[in-house]
Every structure is written in structure tokens, then in C-alpha cells.
Amino acid sequence: MASRPRTSGLRRTFAALGAVALLGGLAACGSDDEPEAGERGSAISAERCAENEAAGPVTYMSSYYWQASASILEVIAADKLGYFNDLCLDVELQAGTDTIQAAKLVASGKVSVAAISQQDVITNNANGIKVTGVSSYSNAGAEVLITNDDVTELKQLKGTKLGHKGWVPLSLTAMLAENGIDAAKDVEQIKVGYDPTVLTRGQVDSLTGFLSNDVRQLEAAGEKVTVFKPADFGVADSLGGLAVNPEFAEKHPTAVQDFLRAAFKAFQYCAEDAHVDECIELQGEQAGAESDPAHEKGVWTTESKLAAENPLPGKFGSVDLDNVVKMAAQVGTFAGLEVTAEEAKSYFDPSFGDAVVDDSGAVVWPAP
């Protein structure tokens, strides 16, 4: 993949109410004859470089084409900024269309790592499709329920029409249940298209959607809406999950760690206001002519802000196993898949991501 050399300096990490600047020693420094950033192996020891090269091609698959979402945009940026090359990783990027396809390809070994949410890691494993979740950016997700602004409480939706794009996401079903509404009985579910104005035109009374997409479109059109977020009601969710092939991770742990190292570094870089336009330009190069820079910028800034305002209780990019246990209980209640707490936790391994982030939240760079 084409790469662009970049030097590193201040990198942003996240705190409870927003992104805060961290002083990170994220670039190697030394004598004049040391390799510069962007050169093969410039941020890794020779021994570790050899281990990563022995892993061969690391195939990444996105969850939805090249949309500028968390778990997609930062991987594109890590490739084009040369971070993977710095760590002796040969990464091949493939566009996916959904996490079902991606999970099957990861489980089969045809894909090494893919953008797969924590919930999908649980449900796929429960159905015999073995993948290992290794990262996320928040316990707050981007899926929301949208209503007109005259709705102030979810209990007002009982007996109304709920629009969805094929199904009601489990996190929204759980949120409704927390407010006394059985999504299967208390609302009329209607499959609608991808035009969110079905809500404001009165065809439905509520609409499933994404904070980074449907909500932005409606607000940009001047519509006043109410947005109900599962995390605000104690519902387990996640943002920007990555999952790997278990056998690949066992055989090549440094490659998995350093893939995350590069992706996390790119996430923090692209989350800085000064670099957003640059990263959206990189996304556009990957996506091609169909990409809409203004739309993609809105997607990325919304999701990176969501991660900043709802940080994980542990390290940046980690997996909160307590959240996983809550999510497994939701899967049992609302999807009918019985998964014990211990089983759910076994589907994840936070150690790969935790190994590349220090206690302050800064990405450890260069690699050992």
C-alpha cells in the first residue's frame, strides 16, 4: 500500500469529557543514521520486525465499504501514513459490506482482522463462528432511536410506529425494554428505506439510525429531533470493535499487537482537529470518486467525539469485560442466545491492545 512518511509529536488521548493533549514520546529519536519515520522498520526492533514479517500479509476487512467510521478510517490512515510499514507489517485492505460476512471470513482464516462490533463477536461465537475481539473505543455506540422533538420520554412511543432498516438493533430493543416497551408487541415495526425524513414527514413516529449519519442529516436539514442513546439508559454497547482470527493471533501475537498499535496511533492522530481534513482526504483516496468528503468528515468527527466523551474505564482501545458480560445478558434476553459470563469473556482478549498503550492512554511508539 502507498504510504506517506510522517513524524510524530503531541498525540491526543481521551478523558471523560473530551480529548485532552498528552505529551507522548511517539517517535524514535537517535543518531542521524537511524531510519526515518515512514521507512520500513523505522519504529521497531530488528528482531520484532522479523517476527512481523514472518506473519505474512495481514488482511483487514472493513464493516461497510470505506466509510469514515471508527475501526475503518484509522486503519486506512495507518496504512497511508506509513505506520504499518514502520512496524514491518504488510497489510492488505479489503472492503466489506457487513459484519456477518466479515466474521465468517475471519473465522475461516481468509481475513486476519476485521471491523466487528462486540455484540457481533458474542453472537457469532455463540453460533459457532470463532473470532476473538481485541479492541473497542467506547461502551457507547452510534446506534440511536430518533423521534420528533415533541417526544421527551420513550414510554410515549407505546402504540406508535417504529421505522427500521431491516431489523431493530438489539441495543435499541434493550433500551426500549428498560423503559417498559416490548419492541415486539408495544410498537408497530415498519421497514423503511434510508431516507430519515420518513420520521419528520410523519410516516413513522420513531426511527432507528446512527448518531453519525441519520441524526446529522436531519439536523443539517434544520429538523428538530430527540435522540435516545442506549448508553444513557445503562444498556451495554460498543464503538469501533476489531476482531481477529484466533489461530493467527496465537501464532503471530506481535503482528496483532502492532496492527493495533498503528491503528490506535492513527485514531489519535486523526481525532485531532488539525489532522481531520488530511485523514478524510486519505479516506477519499481509498474510497474513490463516490466518497463525499463533507459527509465522511461528519461521520468521523461525530464518532471520534463520541469516543472522547465516553471513554473506556480501562486503557484507550481496550475491551471492558464487564461491559461484555452485560452485553451477553442482553443477547440472551433479546436474541435468545444463551451465553454465560465466562463464555462471553472468553471470546475477547484485551491483552493485545493493552500491551501497546501506556497507563496515561498514549500509544507506545516506537514498538519494542
Contacts from 4-9 at CB under 8 Å and sequence distance 24+? Answer: 4/38, 4/80, 4/81, 4/82, 5/36, 5/37, 5/38, 5/39, 5/82, 6/37, 6/38, 6/81, 6/82, 6/269, 7/36, 7/37, 8/37, 8/265, 8/269, 8/365
Binned at pLDDT 50, 70 and 90, residue 106 comes out as very high
Question: pLDDT tens digits for 213-254?
Answer: 999 999 999 999 999 999 999 999 999 999 999 999 999 999
Query: Mean pLDDT, to the nearest integer, of 8-33?
Result: 34
Distances (CA, A) of 207 to 153, 234, 271: 14, 20, 29
pLDDT digits (tens, 9 = 90+) for 290-308: 899 999 999 999 999 999 9
Q: What are phi and psi of 132, to 5 degrees?
A: -120, 120
This prediction has a pTM of 0.89
Closest CA to 58 of 240, 225, 219, 257: 257
Question: CATH 3.40.190.10 residue ranges in the chain?
Answer: 11-139+238-354, 143-233
Q: Average pLDDT, whole number, for the chain?
A: 91
- Give 155 or 3, the one with higher predicted confidence: 155
Q: Is the pLDDT of residue 86 over 70?
A: yes
pLDDT of residue 9: 33
Between 9-23, 53-67, 141-155, the lowest mean confidence (pLDDT) is in 9-23
Whether residue 24 has pLDDT greater than 60: no
Give the tens place of pLDDT for each residue, 299-349: 999 999 999 999 999 999 999 999 999 999 999 999 999 999 999 999 999
156-178: per-residue pLDDT in tens? Answer: 999 999 999 999 999 999 999 99
Residue range 84-105: mean pLDDT, rounded: 95
**Which homologous superfamily does the CATH classification assign to the domain defined by 11-139+238-354?**
Periplasmic binding protein-like II (3.40.190.10)
Percent of the chain with pLDDT over 90: 87
Which three three-digit cell numbers place residue 296? 465522511
Which CATH superfamily includes the segment(s) 143-233? Periplasmic binding protein-like II (3.40.190.10)
Q: What is the reported pLDDT for 266?
A: 98
How far is the C-alpha of 66 from the C-alpha of 296, rounded, in Å? 10
Going by pLDDT thresholds of 50, 70 and 90, the confidence category of residue 21 is very low
- Which pLDDT score is estimated for 17? 30
Higher model confidence: residue 25 or residue 317? 317
C-alpha 134 chain-centroid distance: 11
50/158 Cα distance (integer angstroms): 60
DSSP lists the bridge partners of residue 20 as: 13
The C-alpha atoms of residue 152 and residue 147 are separated, in whole angstroms, by 9
Q: How confident is the model at residue 193 (pLDDT cuts 50, 70, 90)?
A: confident
> What pLDDT is attached to residue 36?
56
